[in-house]
Structure 1
Amino acid sequence: MNVRAIFIDMDGTLLKASNSISSRNKEAIYKLVNQGVKVFLATGRHYDITVPYHKEIGLQTPIICLNGAAIHDAETGSIIRMKTVRLNEERFHNLTAERPCNVIIHTANGIYYKETNREIDYWAKVGQIPPVYIGDLRQAKYQDVLKYSVRTGGPCPELSSLFKKEAEVIDWNDGFELVAPNVSKWFAIKSLLTEFRMSPSEVVAIGDGPNDIEMLRHAGTGVAMGNASEKVKSSANFVTGHHENDGLAEFIERNLLKSSKSYAI
């Protein structure tokens, strides 16, 4: 199989829990790029907290952010494609206000938070851009929403299901996210495949989360991390090692590098 591109998730895939990229993962990516394979990042993160890692690896490809709701130009950072989500704002804020949770609103112009925490402070440090707003989001003036994130501290399908008529819902162990209907990482990948004149059969996608399922199912080769849930693993063609044990590099070394003995894929 001729692999021309690989789309890599970040948290739980490229990154360790420490938010760092291992030297082994970097080396595997460098070798792929030198072989002529295009390497893309496809993440649920906002651009500002993605681009430092994109630069660290030295990638020059467009960046898929916010679960596919935005694609950013590698050189300028400008949004080259985006799909906004429209909710009944009054209903959304009333429903989320009834439960103890944090609400994060990702827009084309920055991030708005109900409240801050250690993780959010870290994001601001990494992205070197402070939040646009922290406080009662009913008082905030925002537009061009790309993703809503509701952090409840645990699964909350009874709440997330209330938005399925308005948005694409992604359930997590600590809450849920909302993007525009039919938006996913695969939605964004398809547009890039058209631009680069590639077919899905020439693509590898690798990830660990529920927001990776669509790209794992539809890419020519879908790879789930060892730390992924069984639902994610069942959506993939391959399961590689844990992200703390460089499962990304393990798959690349075994299957994609021309200088290595490879399995047939």
Structure 2
Amino acid sequence: MDMRAIFIDMDGTLLKASNYISERNKEAIYRLIDQGIMVFLATGRHYEVTAPYHKEIGLQTPMICLNGASIHDAETGKAMQMKTVRLNEERFHHLTAESPCNVIIHTATGLFCKETNEEIDYWIKVGKIPPQYIGDLRQATYQDVLKYSVRTGAASPEISSLFKTEAGVIDWNDGFELVAPDVSKWAAIKSLLDEYQISPNEVAAIGDGPNDIEMLRHAGIGVAMGNASEKVKAAADFVTEHHENDGLAEFIERYLLKSYAV
């Protein structure tokens, strides 16, 4: 396959459940780079918990973070692009308060959350920056929101659908996320493809989540992980192995590396 770039999701794709990158995945990525293929990360994570892995692999490409709400420079970490979402805050907090959940608000200047948990503790450990605020978000002062994340512990389309006129909604098995209506990983990818003068047909994208569906559909080659849902798999051209079995490396070795190409 004649590819010039690959965009890789992190959780459930690049990373194992233990939040580590396997040596096999690293080696496959290194060989891609040696072959002249540009490697990008495209994740729902915020910059601070993306950058350490980007550095670990030694990538020199911009990072797509927060489902495409921000793109960060590889060297400085400075936001090259940010797209904020605007909700009726009073309505948002009223609706989410009716359901037991944690609310995490990603802003241009940091993280605000209703309560801490194991996920946020991990973010603090990796990103080295604690939330700016933990507590009743109705009392918090924040602006320039890039992403709202509502963790209800279960799929909550009855709540998330109430925001579809205000935001782009991404439904997960444990809640939902809200971004600006024109934000997605694919929209961010397109802006980078324009910059690098790469055609979508020369791009592979690989991921496992509902926030990956659009990029899997529109990239030249869309690859779903074996651990993805059936809906995500249906959007892809290929389905590779489970992320615990190095499905990323499996695809790269089989289809993209010249010495393995078929």
Task: Find the counterpart in structure 2 of residue 119 from structure 1.
Answer: 119
What is the TM-score when the length of structure 1 is the normalising length?
0.98
Q: What does 1:123-202 correspond to in 2, within 5 Å?
A: 123-202=123-202
Which residue pairs with 1:52 in the alignment?
52
Deviation at 1:82, TM superposition (A): 1.1
Secondary structure of 2:226's counterpart equals coil
Alignment correspondent of 2:82: 82
Give 2:4's aligned amino acid.
Answer: R
| Separation in structure 1 between the aligned mates of residue 157 and residue 24 of structure 2, nearest angstrom | 37
5+ residue gaps, structure 1, are none
What's the TM-score once normalised by structure 2's chain length? 0.99
1:118 CA displacement: 1.4
Aligned partner of residue 31 in structure 1, secondary structure: helix
Residue identity matched to 1:162: L
Q: Match for residue 69 of structure 1?
A: 69
Q: Distance in 2 between matches of 1:112 and 1:60?
A: 29
Give 3-state SS (helix, strand or coil) of 1:53's partner. Answer: helix
Partner of 1:6 in structure 2? 6
Query: Shift of the alpha carbon at 1:126?
Result: 0.4
1:25 aligned residue: 25
Rounded Cα–Cα distance in structure 1 between residues aligned with 2:158 and 2:244: 32
Cα distance between partner residues in 2 of 1:33 and 1:55: 14
Cα distance between partner residues in 1 of 2:143 and 2:59:
30
- The runs of at least 4 consecutive aligned structure 1 residues that moved more than 3 Å come to none
- Provide the rounded CA distance (Å) in 2 between the counterparts of 1:133 and 1:58: 32
Over the aligned positions, Cα root-mean-square deviation in angstroms equals 0.6
Q: Which amino acid aligns with 1:152?
A: T
Question: For 1:35 and 1:143, how far apart are their aligned partners in 2?
Answer: 43
User: Can you give the 5+ residue segments of structure 2 that lack an aligned partner in the other structure?
Assistant: none
1:118 and 1:189 map into 2 onto residues whose CA distance is 30
Match of 1:241 in 2: 241
Within 1, Cα distance between the matches of 2:166 and 2:79?
A: 23
SS of the equivalent of 2:236 reads coil
Deviation of the 1:119 alpha carbon: 1.4
SS at match of 1:111: strand
- Partners of 1:131 and 1:68 in 2: CA distance: 21
Q: Separation in 1 of the partners of 2:141 and 2:73?
A: 26
Distance in 2, Cα, partners of 1:79 & 1:119: 24
Alpha-carbon distance in structure 2 between the residues aligned to 1:215 and 1:100: 32
Structure-2 separation of matches of 1:108 and 1:221: 32
1:213 aligned to 2:213? yes
Q: Counterpart in 2 of 1:105? A: 105
Q: Percent identity?
A: 80
Partner of 2:37: 37
Amino acid at match of 1:223: V
Return the offset for 1:23.
0.2
SS of equivalent to 1:17: coil
- For 1:33 and 1:78, the matched residues in 2 are separated by 23
Count of residues in correspondence between the two structures: 262
